[in-house]
Structures are given as structure tokens and as C-alpha cells.
Amino acid sequence: DGGITQSPKYLFRKEGQNVTLSCEQNLNHDAMYWYRQDPGQGLRLIYYSQIVNDFQKGDIAEGYSVSREKKESFPLTVTSAQKNPTAFYLCASRGAQYQETQYFGPGTRLLVL
């Protein structure tokens, strides 16, 4: 099956802890994105990467970090600096350079203990 997988489905974070959300795609897509969704709201862009070993901050990057060492993987770390991390996190990818549609993973719900 081709697609985007995110793990875990649910993640619990303790005070002061860094946690990492996994995003993997086997679509051979160059671009990948991380979004945050709060209840009743749309998606806000955290980070995005157009190519391996390169990434840019989105609208709400503070308290988050990413890496893009492999084309198929774009993990997101929620650091202790993110004071309000409880949200639904969605990863997406986009294919060829002029293809505008984004394909989304199933999401990870992060909760604070």
C-alpha cells in the first residue's frame, strides 16, 4: 500500500519532556509538511521540507524541531519549550514540483499528562 503513516496514534507527554512524532511516506514525494490542528480550527503549518536535508519554518515553529535526513521520513519533535502542545498533529506530503495536492497521514493526537 502506498501512503503516509504516522505513529503513534496517541502520545502522552510529561512536563519538561521532549517527544518525537514519526511520519513516513512511500509515495516518493519530495515535499513534506507538519500541521497542528486544535479543536474546531483549521490546520496551521509548523514546518515544511521541499527536499532532503532542507526545511523551513512555518507559521508556528516555536517549540518544535524537525529533521529531513531521508526522503521518506520527516520526524517532528515537540520540545519542552512548547507550552501548549495538546493538539492533533498531521503530516502531509506533496509529489512532483508542480503538483499542488497534499496527501495526509492519519494524524497523531498528543496529550499532556
Partner 1 sequence: SQQGEEDPQALSIQEGENATMNCSYKTSINNLQWYRQNSGRGLVHLILIRSNEREKHSGRLRVTLDTSKKSSSLLITASRAADTASYFCATSPRSNDYKLSFGAGTTVTVRA
Residues that bind partner 1 (CB under 8 A): 4, 31, 33, 35, 40-45, 48, 50, 58-59, 88, 90, 92, 94, 100-107, 109
Q: How far is the CB of 61 from partner 1 (least distance, A)?
A: 13
Q: What is the 3-state secondary structure (H, E, C) of the chain?
A: CCCEEEECCEEEECCCCCEEEEEEECCCCCEEEEEEECCCCCEEEEEEEEECCEEEECCCCCCEEECCCECCECCEEECCCCCCCCEEEEEEEECCCCCCCCEECCCEEEEEC
Nearer to partner 1, 18 or 26 (CB): 26
| Residue 3: CB minimum distance to partner 1, A | 10
- The CB-of-84 to partner 1 minimum distance in angstroms stands at 17
Closest to partner 1 by CB, 27 vs 43, is 43
